[in-house]
Amino acid sequence: MHLLLILMMASMCGGAVAAHDREAHAKEALQTNAQARVDDFVAEVRATGLSTFAPIAVGVRTTPDLTHLDRERRTILVPLWHELAPTTRVLFAQRAGGEQAGHRMFELLVQQFLVIQQAAFLLTSGGTDHYHDEAEANALAVAYWMRQPEGHAFLSDMLPLVVQTFGHTPDPVPDETTPSAYFNREHATFRREPMPYGWFRLRSILNALDTRAGLAVLVGHPQLSGPATQAAPSIATVDGVAVTPDMQP
């Protein structure tokens, strides 16, 4: 009996150690990959002539607003899936169309695309027009991915998940105002209530993936636009209905 108990305890301890090792490996891999991607983005920006564009550090830490940019410290925080609150993981699954799709959405959008988007925010004004900065950062992130050898495939994989999620995310904008006015007015509250920000983020990303929006915003950074090696992906559908976010502010 004692031997059986000892074996059971050893098995439980071994399982806990294995789980801890997997989580530690996942954290190390995410930090390494995200930092390498951001370093590449910084190198591309410097190659355009902005030689003073300083390095950006990446840390792995899960925060309520998912990705987080500390402008003063030039640091981006990226979250881990298993550290998210269970309700947040469920929300990803519900909006993306299932647990597997939600996890995949998190990997593509949060751990890869938004990492570059956060880095791109350091090229925006950082002023009071948060709506414009959001659009510009997303357009720059799309432009970056479009120049990568695997970028077209990456964006094509991400697009239908973004469309699916956007189609199941409530529009928070009151009837009496516009998206840009509401976004700028309520921007400070998004950290306390991040879900409305999710709708704006997805809408802005879909606009950036649309060729017209991407080109319009990139006019302000002609040295960063460059020739795209592939055409921008077309807007997909949700439940058979085309989803093309309007480009009105």
* pLDDT tens profile 166-218: 999 999 999 999 999 999 999 988 877 777 899 999 999 999 988 544 433 43
Angle between helix 194-209 and helix 211-218 axes, rounded to 10 deg? 90
Percent pLDDT > 90 in the chain is 62
How large is the average pLDDT for residues 150-167? Answer: 92
58 pairs with which residues across the strands? Answer: 76
Residue 57's SS3 state is strand
Return the pLDDT at 101: 95
Rg (CA), the chain: 20
Q: What is the pLDDT of residues 59-105, one digit of tens each?
A: 999 888 889 999 999 999 999 999 999 999 999 999 999 999 999 99
For residue 220, name the pLDDT band (cuts at 50, 70, 90): very low
Runs of H (alpha helix) within the chain: 2-47, 86-96, 99-105, 114-120, 130-146, 151-167, 179-186, 194-209, 211-218, 222-225
Give every CB contact of residue 175 below 8 A, 6+ residues apart in sequence.
Answer: none
Return the pLDDT at 28: 94
Residue with tokens 């990139």: 218
- The pTM (predicted TM-score) of the whole model is 0.80
Residue 221's SS3 state is coil
Q: Cα 103 to the chain's mean position, in Å? A: 13
Q: Do 147 and 229 meet the contact criterion of CB atoms below 8 Å apart? A: yes
Q: Cα 6 to the chain's mean position, in Å? A: 46
Separation CA 247–CA 249 (nearest Å): 6
Return the pLDDT at 173: 95
- Spell 170-180 as b/e; 16+ CB within 10 A means b: eebbeeeeebb
